A and B are shown apart, each in its own frame.
Chain A
Amino acid sequence: MISKIKEALICLRAPRVTFRYPLEPMPAPARFRGRPTIDGAKCIGCGACAAVCPPRLIDIHGEGTTRTVELNFSRCTYCARCQEVCPVGAMQCTTDFETATNDRANYSVKVELAAVACQSCGTPFITQRMQQKLMAEFQPAWMQQRNELPEWLSLCQSCRVEKTGMTMGRNIKNG
């Protein structure tokens, strides 16, 4: 009987615990990992986010001189790994958790970036911004040693391999 009275007291003393949400807004804490988004002004299309995404929702594809970074967060696990690895802070997990929608297109974020063509074969291979970032990071160190621009920055992967192979072959021939 005493325990029943104790239990009743616990219930009577309990404060109101429910919130008026959604009638009143309920902001999430600052560290909350909510709806991800891409800042188109910052994204360089490097693909780091696509490589780490556990449910593989980020796709980078290209047509002609455009590279498209496409994020479809309908199956997002909200791990924020994309935000963590983004080198320019373009990937952001907002604190927004109200993602219900009637239109699946609302789950998609697309960033279209201009691509540069390979100087040797003419195939578009990386985005302009990516090339600029590489230039900015590598050029100063490179220019201290050599006078010309690093040529490999403007070659696509297969041309770079071919070029390296030919240089190596020439070096071997010339001893």
Chain B
Amino acid sequence: MTTAQVTMTTAPETLTKAQKILQGIQEKFGVALISAENPRPDRLFLKVRREEIRPITDYVFNTLKGRMVMSIGTDKTPVDGHYEVSYLYALDAEGIALNLKELVPENDPVVPSVAGIVTYANWNEREVYDLLGVKAEGHPDPRRLVLADDWPDDVFPLRKSVPYNFKPPVRDVKPPMRELTEREKKSTIVNVGPFFPTLEEAASFRLFVEGERIIGADYRGFFAHRGIEKLTDNVLDYNQIPFMAERICGICGFVHSACYCMAVEHAAEAEVPPRAQYIRAVMMELERIHSHLLWLGLAAHYLGFDTVLMQSWRIREPIMWLVEAITGNRKTYGLNLPGGVRRDFTNEHCDKILEVIAKIEKEAGELVAAAAEDHTLKMRLVDVGRLTPEDARLLCCVGPTARASGVNIDARKDFPYCAFPDLKFKPAVQHTNDIWGRLLVRAEETFTSIDLVRQMLARLPEGEIMAPVGNIPPWREGVGVAEAPRGECVHYVETGHDNRPYRWRVRAATYPQLQAVPYMLEGMHVADFPIIVGSIDPCFSCTERLITVDRGNANKLRIYEKKDLLAMSRRRTQELR
């Protein structure tokens, strides 16, 4: 690992992009920069003084046009008495991942909030407080975000002193609510969530409604937060995490496991055989094809247009059979390990892939062509769920959501990984800023992916598929970036002892996207709510109360409040155990 000196004297023309950026920061903030590491040309890890984080953030976000990816909070107190809070930025134009790390003393766990500069930092800083107990001073909305409502206020689960299996007693605590504006107070509140069985995901929205129009929204989610990052403390090891990572997402799991493996490989400076790189990339593109077809069906389903749902899922299904034959499972491929992949493609597999994607290209082409002219569909999608390019940037949106707002970023292009440096393609970008644009972007990407798979199979390298990583030295950092169907997926790994990472941090694409949903909802009809939330490609929903009427005695009415439902749910869970 090469460490770039903080004082650099090399002539400017011989500097790499990363060194130029480092020099710029150093000239402007000299003493605020404690140390700098440049382990790979596309990674820059800086340690900065926490007092200076606001001006540096301003410079990175507004002058360098960096996009905040995530915050990373690490408890290093057993090692050196510090908490570490990092902000990872993607400099998309330069293709560099820039990490700003602050050291926070154990007895003074406070950092200055940067949410005033980067709106997206809002959730990131709340998450760092919830999990690590480092407070963001000056945060506009320091409510609880990740932890359950009844989790004790003084237990911060990512601190190393908290055991991974710590289970606090159940309490009845009200969920954290946002302070309402005067206008919102006068409006009608429509609760959506916390669960709606059709869309098998838990999220709760409070919509503030005037007549049919939504004037604002408040989100409470993370009901499915299971603390998997904590499992790296002393449960899972390097080779077991890919299988956990794969289960983060029900559709794009392969991207997560590949992304984690890339982070470990970067940290360990391990070389992955070219054939393994290609196999990973082919699988990721196959995943994108079936994910986009799935989304197209779901989006139509939210609008009540189930014909498209049935047909696009029918067209998608052969991919599931294909990957099942290649990997051994239709969804959890279990293919990745740090160092490569576990199962090879045979020639028959390659032929079969080409056959399946040719069929999909034809059938999906017909379906998209028909849907793209559909008047009803257009009426429901054009100018609905608008997200301006400015908001998309402040909220650091990624993937099709950002690209439909004219933000030309694609991790396959900006941070080429696996086989993508060798391939030719153009990211799909639309400037309509609405759901129609998101549909067009995803439709175009489906066909781009088919083309990419063909390019890769035509030049699939021969050779090994696995190169063992060997012993991984502690205290190395690695960042894995990949373009998942929903947008950029990022994994961060800091290596540790005992054959496991010291810290593993995951940022899925929906994290920034969900923060954009309240912006998209503003001014829209209540009826557009499902498709707007659906347009970023997650899920949600239902009511928090339920009424039963005893049919034998029509006058007997019982209203189940939240606490009754909770008690019933807990009793049912107990019975199942």
Query: Given contacts A29-B325, A54-B240, A54-B244, are A11 and B366 in contact (CB under 8 A)?
Result: no
Q: Given the complex, which residues of A lie within 8 Å of B325, measured CB to CB?
A: 29-31
Query: What sequence of 0s and 1s flags, for each residue 226-268 of chain B, a beta carbon within 8 Å of any chain A beta carbon?
Result: 0000000000100110011001000000000000000000000
Does residue B375 face the partner (Cβ distance < 8 Å to A)? yes
Nearest to B313 among chain A residues (CB) is: A17
Does residue B324 face the partner (Cβ distance < 8 Å to A)? yes
Q: In the assembly, what is the distance between CA of A4 and CA of B308, in Å?
A: 11
Does residue B329 face the partner (Cβ distance < 8 Å to A)? yes
Main secondary structure of the interface of A (DSSP, over half): loop
Instruction: Give the number of residues in B that approach A within 8 Å (Cβ atoms).
Output: 32
Q: Are B236 and A54 in contact (CB under 8 A)?
A: yes
Query: Given contacts A2-B373, A3-B370, A80-B334, are A32 and B324 in contact (CB under 8 A)?
Result: yes
Does residue B183 face the partner (Cβ distance < 8 Å to A)? no
Q: Are B328 and A84 in contact (CB under 8 A)?
A: no
Q: Are A52 and B311 in contact (CB under 8 A)?
A: no
Nearest to A31 among chain B residues (CB) is: B328
Nearest to B375 among chain A residues (CB) is: A3
B179 to chain A, nearest CB (A): 43
Query: What sequence of 0s and 1s flags, for each residue 49-86 of chain A, a beta carbon within 8 Å of any chain B beta carbon?
Result: 00010100000000000000000000001111100100
A141 to chain B, nearest CB (A): 23
Query: Given contacts A29-B324, A31-B343, A54-B236, are A11 and B307 in contact (CB under 8 A)?
Result: yes
Does residue B371 face the partner (Cβ distance < 8 Å to A)? yes
Q: In the assembly, what is the distance between CA of A31 and CA of B328, in Å?
A: 5
Nearest to B370 among chain A residues (CB) is: A6
The one of B243, B307, B342 that contacts A77, using a Cβ cutoff of 8 Å: B243
B14 to chain A, nearest CB (A): 47
Does residue A7 face the partner (Cβ distance < 8 Å to B)? yes
Does residue B367 face the partner (Cβ distance < 8 Å to A)? yes
Q: Given the complex, which residues of B lie within 8 Å of A81, measured CB to CB?
A: 239, 243
Q: Are A7 and B307 in contact (CB under 8 A)?
A: yes
Q: In the assembly, what is the distance between CA of A33 and CA of B332, in Å?
A: 10
Nearest to A52 among chain B residues (CB) is: B239
Q: Are B324 and A10 in contact (CB under 8 A)?
A: no
Q: Given the complex, which residues of A lie within 8 Å of B366, measured CB to CB?
A: 6, 10
Does residue B28 face the partner (Cβ distance < 8 Å to A)? no
Residues from 151 to 183 in B contacting A, C-beta threshold 8 Å: none
Does residue B35 face the partner (Cβ distance < 8 Å to A)? no
A142 to chain B, nearest CB (A): 27
Query: What sequence of 0s and 1s flags, for each residue 1-33 of chain A, a beta carbon within 8 Å of any chain B beta carbon?
Result: 011101100110010010000000000111111
Q: Are A54 and B317 in contact (CB under 8 A)?
A: no
Main secondary structure of the interface of B (DSSP, over half): helix
Q: In the assembly, what is the distance between CA of A116 and CA of B321, in Å?
A: 48
Q: Given the complex, which residues of B lie within 8 Å of A3, measured CB to CB?
A: 370-375
Q: In the assembly, what is the distance between CA of A3 and CA of B371, in Å?
A: 7
Q: Given the complex, which residues of A lie within 8 Å of B93, measured CB to CB?
A: none
Residues from 358 to 373 in B contacting A, C-beta threshold 8 Å: 363, 366-367, 369-373
Q: Are B328 and A33 in contact (CB under 8 A)?
A: yes
Q: Given the complex, which residues of A lie within 8 Å of B310, measured CB to CB?
A: 11
Q: Given the complex, which residues of B lie within 8 Å of A93, measured CB to CB?
A: 328
Name the residue among B328, B363, B371, B372 with the largest chain A CB count within 10 angstroms. Answer: B328
Nearest to A5 among chain B residues (CB) is: B370
Q: Given the complex, which residues of B lie within 8 Å of A10, measured CB to CB?
A: 311, 363, 366-367, 370
Q: Given the complex, which residues of B lie within 8 Å of A54, measured CB to CB?
A: 236, 240, 243-244
Q: Given the complex, which residues of B lie within 8 Å of A32, measured CB to CB?
A: 324, 328-329
Q: Given the complex, which residues of A lie within 8 Å of B373, measured CB to CB?
A: 2-3, 6
Q: In the assembly, what is the distance between CA of A52 and CA of B370, in Å?
A: 50
Q: In the assembly, what is the distance between CA of A11 and CA of B375, in Å?
A: 18
Residues from 139 to 159 in A contacting B, C-beta threshold 8 Å: none
Q: Given the complex, which residues of A lie within 8 Å of B314, measured CB to CB?
A: 14, 17
Q: Are A78 and B332 in contact (CB under 8 A)?
A: yes
The one of A30, A33, A52 that contacts B240, using a Cβ cutoff of 8 Å: A52
Does residue B327 face the partner (Cβ distance < 8 Å to A)? yes
Q: Which residues from chain A sit less than 8 Å from chain B, CB to CB?
A: 2-4, 6-7, 10-11, 14, 17, 28-33, 52, 54, 77-81, 84, 93
Q: Jot down 6 A-B pairs with beta carbons below 8 A, ordered by A.
A: A3-B370, A4-B374, A7-B370, A14-B311, A78-B334, A81-B239
User: 6 smallest A-B Cβ distances: which pairs?
Assistant: A6-B370, A33-B328, A3-B373, A54-B240, A29-B325, A3-B374
Q: Which residues from chain B sit less than 8 Å from chain A, CB to CB?
A: 236, 239-240, 243-244, 247, 307-308, 310-311, 314, 317, 324-329, 332, 334, 342-343, 363, 366-367, 369-375
Q: Apart from A54-B240, A78-B328, A80-B334, what 12 extra A-B contacts exist at CB < 8 Å?
A: A3-B372, A3-B373, A7-B307, A10-B363, A14-B314, A31-B328, A31-B343, A33-B328, A54-B244, A81-B239, A81-B243, A84-B342
